[in-house]
Chains A and B, each alone.
Chain A
Amino acid sequence: MTEIPEHLLKRAQAAREKSAEPAAEPAAEPAAAPASDSRIPDALLKRSQAAKASKGGGEVDAAETGGGVALAEKVGAIVAAAPSSAGVPVGGGPGGHTQRLLTVVKSGSIQDVKATPVDKVHTWPHLLAAEFVAALACTAFTFLFSIFVNAPLLQLANTNATPNPSKAPWYFLGLQELLTMFHPMVAGVTLPGVGIIFLILTPYLDRNPSNKPEDRKFVISIMTVHLMFWAVLVMIGSFFRGPGFNFVLPWVDGLFFEL
């Protein structure tokens, strides 16, 4: 990505401010001093006039000379006026410079650069500080929660004593809930398999290039319904299923749920 770094922008800004002050003084000068103050050395002007005079005849001579002077005047005016109008520091030595900065051609105009400037900030400290705080908060939460709530450790495993109900870990309870409605091959293998395959294929199925929510109403509704479907199933499986995996109300019959 091409972009102008912050410190360069600052430096340019400082240079511009600095140049703004001296630029005010030379701006007054060109008005007072006519073309004779041109930065084209007098010797060169005279030489070119002489060359023109020697080349042409009488009347041509007069016209050419006039033209030459007019040209010199114009160039002088432009050169002298440049600093005040552009506000960019142009070589302003007293004797005049033989070279000057005409323009800055940015690479974008001569090369086909696809990158466009992006508003960026330094990773340190802007991102790292936020990440550090997030990690600290996460650790603190886990730590405090672990002080007050103990992980379950039930009786020693016994293959002869099936607890009622037997529940899978919470993230599989949606599947276990499906087991009550469908054949195990459908609920336990086919549906989650199809779900994962569709999840993997999502970016290849959704051909809509926009990422704006208003352009994606269809996919967003589909996904929301899908996520809610699983969330509701997991919650039913977790809190509303009791002995024999029958429907219970947690506020009536109590919780049958271990994390």
Chain B
Amino acid sequence: MSKTIDDKPRPTVKDRLNSAVDATQGSQAWSSIFRPGSIFRKGYTDSPRNRSYVIMNSVLYHLHPVKVKRHAVKVSYTLCLGGLSFFLFILLTVTGIFLMFFYRPEATAAWNDIQNLQTSVTFGLLVRNMHRWGAHLMVLAVFLHMARVFYHGAYKPPREFNWVIGVILLTLTLLLSFTGYLLPWDQLALWAVTVGTNMMGYTPVFGNEVRFVLLGGAEIGSETLLRWYVLHVLFLPFVIVIFMAIHFWRVRKDGGISGPL
């Protein structure tokens, strides 16, 4: 009797797994998270409509249109420089937040904190290295991006204003890098910043005032460290994100990427 009831073969592990995946992907929670067309949805197929939906129904729609000019996806045209600048900014934000957990912007503590970070924090040295090299790389990437845009004549109408935003972003990138330079509070940081701020002290008419505001005093000290720390981790990132948003928005409003030549 029982033989006939149990005649159905027992489901294999693979079958169980498949049905579990189907149940998960078919659940209301899953389909509420992934919008129609998402590659994670149940039964996703590669069709023109779904290719459009992948962009349209994701947060990436703020960054990219559904379709781009064919020449614009050639790596040889943009060399990915603008995108890489943005990506490096994200990388620097992530590594920077990690560093903030172990750092106090006080003249008596800063250098020791970096030393401790390097010697006794797991991955501390690695993350600090990535932050440092990523920062130099970002300055380089932004600079090369500017050169690329210039040589393609991509600043011509209707993109004039976006070029202006770009120059502002370049300046902000340099300022971000320069303010971060002081934070380790070692001899390199102190004297590089001394040289830099001395130059700014020669600003005509209010040179001394400019220098005083930047340093938070007549000489570089604990106030300077706190000031540049706040500029580096809060003020400048806040400003640069706003300008980046305008920059990316204008890229799309001005008809996507420039060219072809």
Contacts and interface: CB of A to CB of B under 8 A. Distances in A.
B204 A185 contact: yes
A227 interface: yes
A220 interface: yes
Q: Which of A155, A168, A208, A212 has the most CB of B within 10 A?
A: A168
B152 to A, nearest CB: 6
Interface stretch (B3-11, B123-131, B238-246): B123-131
B195 A176 contact: yes
A159 B190 contact: yes
A247 B183 CA distance: 30
A227 B147 contact: yes
Interface string B170-204: 01001001100100111111111011101110111
A5 B48 contact: yes
Q: Which secondary structure characterizes the binding site on chain A? A: helix
Contacts of B190: 157-159
Contact of A203 (B48, B164, B219): B164
B1 interface: no
B72 to A, nearest CB: 7
B67 interface: yes
Given A128-B64, A131-B80, A154-B187, A7 B48 contact: yes
B202 A146 contact: no
Q: Which secondary structure characterizes the binding site on chain B? A: helix
Given A122-B48, A209-B156, A213-B151, A171 B196 contact: no
Interface range for A: 35 or more
A161 B188 CA distance: 11
B198 to A, nearest CB: 8
Nearest to B108: A156
Interface stretch (A45-53, A80-88, A137-145): A137-145
Q: Which of A156, A157, A210, A220 has the most CB of B within 10 A?
A: A157
Interface of B: 47-49, 51-52, 54-55, 60, 64-73, 75, 80, 83-84, 87-88, 91, 107, 111, 114-115, 118, 125-126, 128-134, 136-137, 139, 143, 147, 150-157, 159-160, 163-164, 167, 171, 174, 177-178, 181, 184-192, 194-196, 198-200, 202-204, 207, 219-220, 258-259, 261
Given A124-B51, A259-B136, 17 more contacts: A128-B60, A130-B75, A138-B88, A146-B133, A147-B126, A150-B125, A153-B115, A154-B188, A158-B187, A162-B191, A171-B174, A189-B207, A203-B157, A206-B155, A209-B156, A211-B152, A223-B151
